[in-house]
Structure formats: structure tokens, C-alpha cells
Amino acid sequence: MLRLSLYIGFVFGLVLCGSGETLIRRPVHDGWRFRQVRGVNAYPAVVPGVVQLDLIANGLLEDPFFRMNERSAQWVDKEDWEYQTTFDVAPDLYARENVRLVFEGLDTYADVYLNSQKVVVANNMFRTWSVDCKRYLRPAGNALRIYFHSPVKIDLPKCLALDYAYPASNDQAANGGLLDRKVSVFARKAGYHYGWDWGPRLVTSGIWRPVMLEAWNGGRFEDVQVFARNVSAKSAEMAVMAELSVGRAAQGVVSVVDAVSGLTYAQKAVSLSAGANKASVGFNIKKPRLWWSNGLGEPHLYAFKVVLALDGQEADARTVRTGVRSLRLVRDKDPDGKGASFYFELNGHPVFMKGANYIPNDSFLPRVTEARYRNVVARARDANMNMLRVWGGGIYEDDRFYDLCDESGILIWQDFMFACSLYPADPAMLENIRQEAVQNVKRLRNHACLALWCGNNEMNDGYYGWGWKRQMEEKGVAGKVKAEYDAVFHQLLPQVVAEVDPGRPYRPSSPLSDFNPEGSDGKSGDMHFWQVWHAEKPFSMYEEVIPRFMSEYGFQSFPEFVTVKRYAPDEKDWDVQSDVMLAHQRHPRGNQLVRIYMAQNYREAKDFRSFLYMSQLLQADGIRIGQEAHRRAMPFCMGSLYWQHNDCWPVASWSSSDYHGRWKAQHYFTRKLYQEVLVSPYQNEGVLRVNVVSDRLAPIAGNLTVRLMTFAGKAVFERRTEVEVPANSSVCLFSESVETLLNGSPSNSVFVSAAFDAKDSVLGDSVYLLAPLKEIELPRAVIERQVSPIKGGFEITLKSGVFARGVYLSVDSRTDDFFSHNYFDLLPGKPMMVTVRTAMPAAEFARSLRVISMCDAVVGTKE
């Protein structure tokens, strides 16, 4: 209920600010009960919600995330379900001329009955459904019933009617008892519900977003768009486009007001006819406060209150929060005509996009609370990201997610909801998709964070590169399915964006090349690079394959032991090949690939717990190579979005923070690697080079210090140089033969420490090993610790006499403690201070705190 009240409060406080006496909006969320249609008994239900959550709450279903319970939940999606409630209509609402019943999300096939009248037939999870219901309502005892058809029973006949199959490799039909009948492509429903290589198969039904009654007299805004046409530091040319409906012809005035200061920007008289109308109002802002992405400046948001007055009386008002900024996707052709740039220019400045791919936060979407949305966006902001890619196999996210991204300066690459499959597209489905696209583009287009619309995820690559075209040709339907593809992604969706959000760029697919429609080559457009992982190529390939914009790449790791214990509490399950651990590893070769890469790069882990820890370091070390290589290659490469930011359940996956929000090693690494100033040592053809990369919009003068030290702390080489780093650039500021630097020392006995400082402040530093970690015999590190209480937790000071690789702090008994630093390298004799937020008593914390480094996790470390 807390999440619901926050959501409703947000709607009233922002969307309908100032309109309480005109437009009334009230939820219909009380008194719901549900039942299995084939059954008799009805049980209490929570709305918004889904069937599985209601079954769990009533003790009728075990938690599918625990151990292997997912298997016992597969019957749910084969059944029809019915939800019912009765409600009274308050006199003030009932007295209004117009009353509308609005369903912001029905999942997915649903018939809605109001007082025995069928008023809605829904067939798309992503759409809002509404009905003018005044004629059906009575003051008290209104019966509202929703019949949810099984998505499997609705779509299985469509699948069986074809003598070919639409590709959908991630649909875990067999886990759902459907053999190879992959029905997910027939439903406009979140694809990941049917399973993915990081997610369970939990196909939901239910009232997954709020149900509202809206009532008004006279007229109302149906939609309000606020956007900037021309933006500079001196002025911003703004426009408001409003869609209005009125019951009768009227003279009106549309005003635009600053909701904070009360300043009126503009007023315009409009003549309105009965029914639907459009009105536009232009105005200018002198010396606007611009919206900047995370790291470049303040993501300032204006609150524009747009007011409709009819015949001298206020009829409706909407408040739109948005940022004033210019943003464009720059696609300049190379002089040789064989490539083209791919970068985002914000307020006139090229910006390197540092971020990750984002999936839904839970398999059961209604339990994603306000706090979880805040946490997942804060994890991106605090890791110095400036972009998240909302991936096409999930959902068009909740409004609050985009609000938080607006506030945090996190740009959004927004996929339409299509991923890794081909989809049927007859005329009825095309119209369904068109309505879905129009609604969601309108809903999201006011957000300053929204940077790009993209038609789908990997479908172009799948058709030409994964064998789909050949499969369709063998069945004689290649022309048909390609025409369906083109109708959606090259005709319908670009038309919707051009008509509804013309200032935003559209890309048909990701990845996509401009000059090679049958693949992505990195010379133009974006790239998904998966030869590391799927093809078992070494991590060093990240330094060899550098595209214009890397929109996907990644490597798996396991969650921390404390997270694993929540879904696998029994010691007999503590083996990555146990049935429980395999149930929470959805990639068919996941464990094998992690083992292969670990054997190539590290020494053997001594036990299960050590393996989990080392898998996280392995992931972080591998992705670090890609992150640094991409940033060093700017301005040729101008984006690095790894797969993936988050998880929808506890699982071994490519995420950098797990389902419970715990940062993995990769997330701690990312925070450092995505700082505005990056110091990046690397080897190339026997030469050690150090690049300094700066996102700052002004040059920086400072000092670069490069040291070689033994693991015991003895200096082998040191050089300090005055340097200048140009604005928004990557520049090599150190280059020296490795052989010269070593001066006879073995490469596996030393480490490189590089740091860039300016005005006595270290802006960036890095530790780099000259030999593969597998060839290094790390010394036994005895890490001293000192724990001191501070407000809200403790301060921990760590120190070691020798180099300690990947120092990891944990508290076994809890999952909500957060360490300010973790998985870091501790240099000989140099103390490291870590803070932790926790409510644990001091004695319990000191007793529970565990500190290890890699030498404690591998077999055969010498004293």
C-alpha cells in the first residue's frame, strides 16, 4: 500500500497539479477478490498486482524464486482467472458530466465488465485501456469484473496453425510444458516473462498497473507536450502542443505558467469545437538553465503548468516537468564514405555515453516499489553512468523511472518492445502495435532523459546473421516474414515517431550498420559484441574490436554468497552444478564458460564460496578491458553500454548488481572506470602506454605519475611529468618499453601504479599488472583492520604490507549493508578507508566482518 499511495500522490502532485476542483481522478483498488475460473473459492487480491503474487499471498503458491519452486508455478499461465470488486461513486465524481474508467495496464488478454456490460476487450499489456462509463455507473454497488484469459490458451492455437515457427530462442517453452511451441511472439506482452538466458519462465496475468476513475465537466487536456525548438545559453524557443476535448463549442484560453515562480510565459485564445481539438502555444526563455547529463552539470528541470480556461473559468491544468536542452544524434560520414560517426551531442558538446543495458527489476512488476526504482537509478548515477538502454524484451517503464532519470541526468536509449525474435504482423496486429507505440511515445516524450527510439533488439542481426533468413527460405515464407518485419520497423514505428515525437531520432534495430543492412560492422551505427563469451574469444578482443558505439557486451558472474544463501540455503546446494544452482543459471553453457575463462585467467578457486567471489572479479576484469578500450578510442568510439545493469530475480547473470541491489565487483569497478577522468595503462607491442581520458569540457593541467613496484612495495621505476589533458578527449601521455621499465625484474613480480593529479587532488588512478594473473604468485596478504563507529555505520581502515589483489569485505548474516569501496587492490603500506552503512551493533559487526583477497581464495597460495 505504501508503493500505491506514493504513486497516487505523485500523479496528483505533478501530473494534475492545480486541478483538483476540475478534473477528479480516483483509484479503484479496494475490495478486489480473485479466483481460478475452473475453481470455486475466491480469495483477497491486491491491485495493482498479478495472479502469482496473489496466489503467494494467500498461501496457494510457493515463492518461485526459492530453490526450484519456479517449476511448480508453471500451471498458473494455463488457467483463466477472474478478478472482481464492487465500488461506490462519490457524489462529487458522479455529478460530473463525463466519467471515464481507465486501466493503465491489463496483462494481457482481458474482458472487462462493468455492471454486467462488457466495456473493454484488452489484448496488449503495454496499452492503456479506457471507456467513457457514465451511462453504466450507479451511485453505489457498481460491479467490476475482469476475466483474464490464459495467454497460453489464447496463443497456442495461433502457433499450431502455422507449418513454420517464428524464431524465439529465449522462449523457454519446454520449461512451461509446451515442448517447442514458442507462443511468446503472438502476444503483445513482456518477452522476458516467457524466460530468457538470465530469467525464469513466469508468465503473468493481472491488473498490473493502476485502475482509475476520471471525471470532469466542460473540457480537459487529453495530452500536453512541451518541447524546445532552438536552445542556446542565451535563449530557448519553446512550444506547447495540447490535445483537448470539450463537450460543446467554447471560447478558451491556454496559458503556460512556471509552476514554481508563478511567472506566466504565454497565453493564447483558442476557439474550440465540440469534441477533439489541438492547440499550440509558443514562448521564449531567456538565459535558460540547461539540463545536463550526469557528470557534466545540473540536470535542471522546469515545471511548466499548462492551464485551460473555458468561458473565463479554469477547466483543467497539467504540469509537465522537463529539461531544456538540445540533443542530437550526429551521423557525419567519414571522408572515405565507408563509415559514419555515431555520437550524441548535448547542448552543443559531444558526450561519450557511459552506461549499461537495463531490464525490468522483477519478474512480478507490481512489486517494484518506489524505493527500488530510486535504488536502481541511484546505482547508475553513483557509478558515474550517463545512459541506460531500456531493452526491448521488457516493458516501457513506469513513469517514475523516467522521472528519476530526468532528475539524475541519466539519458535513455529506449527500445520498442521487441527482442530477439520475429513477430507476426497481420493488419489487426499492426493496428495494435500502432496504438501501443502512439500511447507510449506520447507518455514518454516530455522526458528530458529520452535520447533515442529504437525499433527492436537484435532482430536485424538475427535475420541475417543467426540463420533466420535461411530457415524462413526453407519454409518458403521468407518474403512474408520479411515484409512483416519491414512493416513494423521500417514503416509503422518510424512514422509514429515522426508524427508524435519528431525531435527524437529513430533507429530500426540495434545493432545496425548504415552501409551494410545485413549486419553491424562497427564502422557506422552501433555494435553488440559477443565473441567474448559466446564464441570463447579472449578478453583481449575488446581491445581489437572497437566500434563507433558499443551498445552491448558482457560477461557473467554469480551473486555474492549472502545472496545465494537466500535462494539456496542448504549446504548440499552449494555447488554450481547442484540442481538449485543450475535452476538459477539460465544460460545453457553459463557455468562451463565461466570455468573456461577462469581457467584461462586465474588460478583454481579453493571452494564454492571462493568461486563465487572470483567469478565476480573475473567479470570485472574482463569488462574493464572493454570499458577502458572504448573510452581510450574516443572520439572514434563514443559509447560503451555493457550488458547488464540489473536482475529480475536472483541468478547467475551478466548483471553488475544483483536482484537485491548488491553491487558486484563489476559495479565497483565501473564507478571508477566511468569517472570523468580515467587513467588507463595498457600494453601494446611491448610498450606500456598510459592514456588519460577526460569528459570535462575544459582542459586540465596536472601531473601524471607512473610507478613500477614489487608486490612487497619496493620501487623499480618512477616518473612524474607535468601534462595537460585537452577538453573532452583521450590522449596518450606516457609511452615506454616494458623491457626498459622492468630493468631485469620479472614481469610477474611487479605492478604498475599510475595517477593523474591536479591542484593536489588525485583525479584518476589505476593499478595494472604486466603479466596475466594466472602467472603471478601473489604473496600471502595479512590485512590489518581497524573499525571505528560513525553515524549510520562504521569506518574501516585496512592496511597490508604487501600487494593485496581484489580485497573483498562482506557481512555474512545480512544483505542490506553497503560498503563504500569493495573488490579493490590494496597497495603495500598504503591504508585504505572504507565506510559501511549498517544498523548492526559494533560487537556483532566486528565479529561478522570478513575481509579476504585473492590470495585467500586460490589453491596453493604460499605464505
Cα gap 408→811, rounded to integer Å: 30
Confidence of residue 863 (pLDDT cuts 50, 70, 90): low
For residue range 150-185, list pLDDT tens digits in order: 999 999 999 999 999 999 999 999 999 999 999 999
State the alpha helices, DSSP H only, in 551-677: 561-567, 579-583, 590-601, 608-632, 665-673
394: exposed, middle or buried (Cβ count in 10 Å: 0-12, 13-18, 19+): buried
> What are the grid coordinates assigned to 862, written together?
604460499
Instruction: List the chain domain ranges.
Output: 2-212, 218-322, 349-673, 677-775, 783-856
For residue range 798-853, list pLDDT tens digits in order: 999 999 999 999 997 666 778 999 999 999 999 999 999 998 899 999 899 999 99
Quickly list DSSP for 352-407. Answer: -EEEEEE--S-SSGGG--HHHHHHHHHHHHHTT--EEEE-TTS-PPPHHHHHHHHH
Share of the chain above pLDDT 70, in %: 97
Q: Taking 80 as the threshold, does the pLDDT of residue 19 lie above it?
A: no
Task: Check: CB of residue 342 under 8 Å from CB of residue 639.
Answer: yes
CA angle 317, 323, 329 (to 5 degrees): 130
State the alpha helices, DSSP H only, in 17-176: 51-57, 91-94, 151-160
> What are the grid coordinates assigned to 704, written together?
601524471
**What pLDDT score does 815 carry?**
61
Question: pTM for this one?
Answer: 0.95
**What pLDDT score does 653 carry?**
98
State the alpha helices, DSSP H only, in 657-802: 665-673, 738-742
Cα gap 564→558, rounded to integer Å: 8
Side by side, the strands of the sheet bearing 33-36 are 43-44, 33-36, 81-87, 142-148, 109-114, 117-123
Quick one: average pLDDT of 292-306?
98
SS3 state at 848: helix
Which CATH architecture describes the domain 2-212?
Answer: Sandwich (2.60)
**What mean pLDDT value characterizes the chain?**
95
Confidence of residue 3 (pLDDT cuts 50, 70, 90): very low
**What pLDDT score does 422 carry?**
97
**What pLDDT score does 21 carry?**
52
For residue range 405-425, list pLDDT tens digits in order: 999 999 999 999 999 999 999
Instruction: Report domain 349-673's class.
Output: alpha beta
For residue range 685-722, list pLDDT tens digits in order: 999 999 999 999 999 999 999 999 999 999 999 999 99
Domains 218-322 and 783-856 equal at CATH topology level: yes
Quick one: average pLDDT of 459-487?
96
Q: Taking 50 as the threshold, does the pLDDT of residue 17 lie above it?
A: no
**What pLDDT score does 5 carry?**
33
SS3 state at 824: strand
Cα gap 792→836, rounded to integer Å: 8
For residue range 624-650, list pLDDT tens digits in order: 999 999 999 999 999 999 999 999 999
Which CATH architecture describes the domain 783-856?
Answer: Sandwich (2.60)
Residues tagged active-site: 458
Q: Taking 90 as the threshold, does the pLDDT of residue 337 lie above it?
A: no
For residue range 582-591, list pLDDT tens digits in order: 999 999 999 9
CATH number of 218-322: 2.60.40.10
**What pLDDT score does 516 carry?**
77
Phi then psi for residue 583, to 5 deg, are -65, -25
**What pLDDT score does 862 carry?**
64
User: How many other β-carbons are positioned within 10 Å of the β-carbon of residue 788?
Assistant: 11
Cα gap 22→608, rounded to integer Å: 63
**What pLDDT score does 335 carry?**
87
For residue range 77-109, list pLDDT tens digits in order: 999 999 999 999 999 999 999 999 999 999 999
Instruction: Report domain 677-775's class.
Output: mainly beta
DSSP letter, residue 12: I
**What pLDDT score does 9 carry?**
33
**What pLDDT score does 817 carry?**
75
Q: What's the per-residue H, E or C state across 445-465?
A: CCCCCEEEEECCECHHHHHHH
**What pLDDT score does 813 carry?**
67
Q: Taking 70 as the threshold, does the pLDDT of residue 20 lie above it?
A: no
Task: Check: CB of residue 767 under 8 Å from CB of residue 809.
Answer: no
SS3 state at 303: strand
For residue range 380-408, list pLDDT tens digits in order: 999 999 999 999 999 999 999 999 999 99
Phi then psi for residue 646, to 5 deg, are -145, 175
Cα gap 576→608, rounded to integer Å: 7
Please give the span between the terminal C-alpha atoms of the chain, in angstroms, as a whole number: 56
Q: Give the chain's count of helices (H) and strands (E).
A: 19, 46
